[in-house]
């Protein structure tokens, strides 16, 4: 099975942190996945703990066969990104995972102050569908078979990501990079 990240990080990606950080954490996630909701909390802690030593990249991987609202949520996040509010929508979607149907998505867009006319147009945009499909295709080429899937500096991470497993592993990598 492939363990390398096949598609390079580009300006189309959603990036939190400094690109020059020694650690790059890529997550393929699904807004309706309960494990992704748990990893959302872990990633927040990783970013707090490691600060300037890590850059986080989120990519969509909606598992539409088992999560009927995941694709719509991904579209809402991408539409928010067009108004520079991706991370605000990302946070709301994971914090309100039980409520991802259409009316909620529009309420979240309003909550974060999006131009609602633009949001209504954008959420139906073929370019956003293409962006999500490109994320999924890149994930499949890289060996993603479920969510959450993590890649650290281009290598698939199959270790423990819950509790402090991921944080400890990343701290160890930072220490070894400093030596």
Work out how many domains the chain is built from and give that number: 1
Neighbours of 80 (CB within 10 A): 25
Neighbours of 173 (CB within 10 A): 17
Q: How much is the mean pLDDT over the chain?
A: 94
Q: Is residue 1 part of a domain?
A: no
Q: Is residue 3 part of a domain?
A: no
Q: Is residue 105 part of a domain?
A: yes
Please give the pLDDT value at position 156. 95
Q: Is residue 6 part of a domain?
A: no
35-73, pLDDT tens digit by residue?
A: 999 999 999 999 999 999 999 999 999 999 999 999 999
CA distances to 14, 31, 123, 176 from 81, rounded to whole Å, are 8, 15, 11, 35
Q: Is residue 4 part of a domain?
A: no
87-146, pLDDT tens digit by residue?
A: 999 999 999 999 999 999 999 999 999 999 999 999 999 999 999 999 999 999 999 999
Compute the distance between CA of residue 102 and CA of residue 64 in angstroms, rounded to an integer: 15
**100, burial (CB in 10 Å: exposed 0-12, middle 13-18, buried 19+):** buried
Give the range of the structural domain holding residue 150, as residue numbers without chain letter. Answer: 14-178
């Amino acid at each position: 099975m492939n363990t390398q990240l096949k598609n390079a990080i580009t300006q189309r990606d959603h990036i939190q942190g400094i690109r020059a950080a020694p650690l790059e954490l890529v997550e393929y996630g699904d807004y309706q996945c309960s494990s992704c909701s748990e990893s959302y909390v872990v990633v927040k802690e990783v970013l707090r703990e490691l600060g300037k030593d890590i850059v986080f990249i989120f990519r969509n991987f909606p598992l539409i066969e088992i999560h009927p609202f995941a694709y719509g949520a991904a579209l809402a996040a991408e539409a928010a990104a067009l108004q520079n509010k991706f991370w605000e929508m990302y946070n709301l979607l994971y914090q309100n995972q039980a409520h991802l149907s259409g009316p909620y998505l529009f309420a979240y867009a309003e909550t974060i102050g999006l131009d609602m006319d633009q949001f209504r147009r954008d959420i139906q945009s073929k370019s956003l569908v293409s962006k999500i499909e490109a994320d999924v295709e890149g994930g499949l080429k890289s060996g993603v078979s479920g969510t959450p899937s993590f890649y650290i500096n281009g290598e698939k991470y199959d270790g423990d990501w819950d509790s402090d497993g991921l944080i400890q592993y990343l701290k160890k990598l930072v220490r070894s990079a400093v030596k």
